[in-house]
Amino acid sequence: MSDSILSRKGLKTYKEKSGTICPMSIKQRSLFIGLSIFIGVIILGVVVWNLPGVRVRYGWRFDFARAYVRGVINPVKPLPTPRIVQAASNPTATPQWTSTPSMGSQAFVTPSTVSLTPSPTITPTPTPIPPQVLLPEPEYEKQDINNCGPATLAMALKFFGWKGTQADIASEVKPMRDDRNVNVEELALYTLHNVGWLRLQYRVGGSIDRLRQFIAAGIPVMIEETFMMEESYWPNDDRWAGHYLLLTGYDDQQQIFIAQDSFVSPNIKVAYADLDKNWQAFNRVYIVLYYPEQEETVKEILGEDWDLDKNRMNALKQAERETRQDPSNAFAWFNLGTNLVYFDRYHEAAQAYDQARKIGLPQRMLRYQFGPFMAYFHDFRLDELMTLTEYALKITPNSEEAMLWRGWGLYRLGKREEAYKMFLKALGEHPGYADAEYAIQYITQN
């Protein structure tokens, strides 16, 4: 053999000594195979995730896992208390509310005297109603994820012969499936725009008797109430959430309503006392749908609450009365703030919200109700507005309402570009969101 020709043994020895790279080692080959499998699993997962029905059926599990991991990395704390502390150190002391100061005032005024507009007391003669009523059961709709509003409205509409489904409603009121909240106003607008042969009214400050009166008149009632979830979405989750129910019957002897619950089942029994307790957190709001020829009946049941301003004043008085009866009830204070916001009494509303926050509110409260954002913005307490919107977005990262009001806070702080981006983000989370469209138009023209 020539010296220039190496034997196989010699070639191997030469490469080992000279450091020449050998063909892929076993370790490298294993790493390559593992990486290929990992990439393949990811690709397969993406393909499977996008198969029809898979995301609908299992998407909530992904949402749950994502929220839990986020809560582990950045733990969720209780809803922040106000920075400004009232003069009274006793949290159960009942403040009285003064008239609204000028918009530019940031000073905290110790409440002194109540300024509720007096009105004559009207005591209508109640129409006797049966001790038990059970309306025909509408076709049941099991809700899709985050879809109790559209599902419950669908059942209410079906009671009157509507042929659609919750998907029809959701496609308009929550174009993004992950939207976790649908307001009463959004449900009302959908009905008025798409089911014109029916009429709709919604009011606040309801009562058990009023619900019974509507049902006895053949009109089911939708309410928004508290719902305790079965699973924790993050460590220390208080599991409190909002939920819609459709009431289709009652029984005075058993002291129960019959309700269509889109999450639990049809025809569940709910005790009068439990319903009122859970209902209070949402200012006892209720929605009634009815045929045009039933309008006189609806007016008779509502009485002076047919007038929107009168209804709010009655709800304001109810909330104020409940703060006196139980000064430690945070929901009573929150409702007081919300009803004051309706009358543009923002300074007083902010003080009521302060009291509710001092007592303690659920973690998800600002996912569903946004009165505090309005009150603190108009009362020029921007530090509170920014704190609460930051917290709300931590709980619900895609909340278009929290984004909107954070944008307005940024705008008032002089951060115009950041505000504009926040408005765009809100519109991206809810295409067609009129408040965000207005904000974008306003900021580009001013």
Residue 331: inside a domain: no
Q: In 129-233, which residue ranges form alpha helices assigned H by DSSP?
A: 148-159, 166-173, 184-194, 208-216
The pLDDT value recorded for residue 29 is 72
Determine the Cα–Cα distance for residues 266 and 271; give it in Å rounded to an integer: 16
Residue 335: inside a domain: no
Chain Cα centroid distance, residue 379: 24
The answer to whether residues 122 and 303 touch, using CB atoms and an 8 Å cutoff, is: yes
Same domain for 212 and 297, yes or no, is yes
The answer to whether residues 151 and 144 touch, using CB atoms and an 8 Å cutoff, is: yes
Determine the Cα–Cα distance for residues 34 and 40; give it in Å rounded to an integer: 10
Residue 205: inside a domain: yes
Residue 181: inside a domain: yes
The pLDDT value recorded for residue 57 is 53
Same domain for 155 and 32, yes or no, is no
CATH code for position 198: 3.90.70.10
The answer to whether residues 74 and 322 touch, using CB atoms and an 8 Å cutoff, is: no
Same domain for 149 and 295, yes or no, is yes
Determine the Cα–Cα distance for residues 99 and 401; give it in Å rounded to an integer: 28
Q: If DSSP codes are grouped into helix, strand and coil, which group holds residue 202?
A: strand
Same domain for 65 and 137, yes or no, is no
Sign of CA dihedral 158, 266, 259, 189: negative
Taking only the tens of pLDDT, the chain with its 446 residues reads: 444 433 444 444 434 444 444 556 676 676 777 677 777 766 765 565 566 555 555 554 556 556 556 656 777 899 999 986 443 333 333 333 333 323 232 222 223 333 344 344 444 455 789 999 999 999 999 999 889 999 999 999 999 999 999 999 999 999 988 888 999 999 999 999 999 999 999 999 999 999 999 999 999 999 999 999 988 998 999 999 999 999 999 999 999 999 999 999 999 999 999 999 999 999 999 999 999 999 999 999 999 999 999 999 999 999 999 999 999 999 999 999 999 999 999 999 999 999 999 999 999 999 999 999 999 999 999 999 999 999 999 999 999 999 999 999 999 999 999 999 999 999 999 999 999 999 999 999 98
Q: 354 in the Ramachandran plot: left (φ > 0), alpha (ψ -120 to 50) or beta?
A: alpha
Determine the Cα–Cα distance for residues 224 and 244; give it in Å rounded to an integer: 4
Same domain for 218 and 147, yes or no, is yes
Residue 67: inside a domain: yes
- Total of domains in the chain: 2
- Residue that is written with structure tokens 């009157």 in the block: 160
Query: What's the DSSP call for residue 415?
Result: -
Same domain for 138 and 250, yes or no, is yes
Same domain for 153 and 291, yes or no, is yes
The pLDDT value recorded for residue 224 is 98
Range of the domain at 45: 25-72
The answer to whether residues 108 and 83 touch, using CB atoms and an 8 Å cutoff, is: no
Give Cα separations from 433 to 151, 180, 214, 409, 427 (angstroms): 21, 15, 33, 18, 6
The pLDDT value recorded for residue 32 is 72
Q: Would you mind telling me the total number of residues written for the chain in this entry? A: 446
The answer to whether residues 430 and 176 touch, using CB atoms and an 8 Å cutoff, is: yes
Closest by CA position to 107, among listed 381, 352, 382 = 381
Partnered with residue 269 across adjacent β-strands are 258
The pLDDT value recorded for residue 70 is 63
Residue 345: inside a domain: no
The pLDDT value recorded for residue 71 is 57
Same domain for 270 and 190, yes or no, is yes
Extract the runs of DSSP E, i.e. beta strands, from 252-342: 256-261, 265-271, 286-290
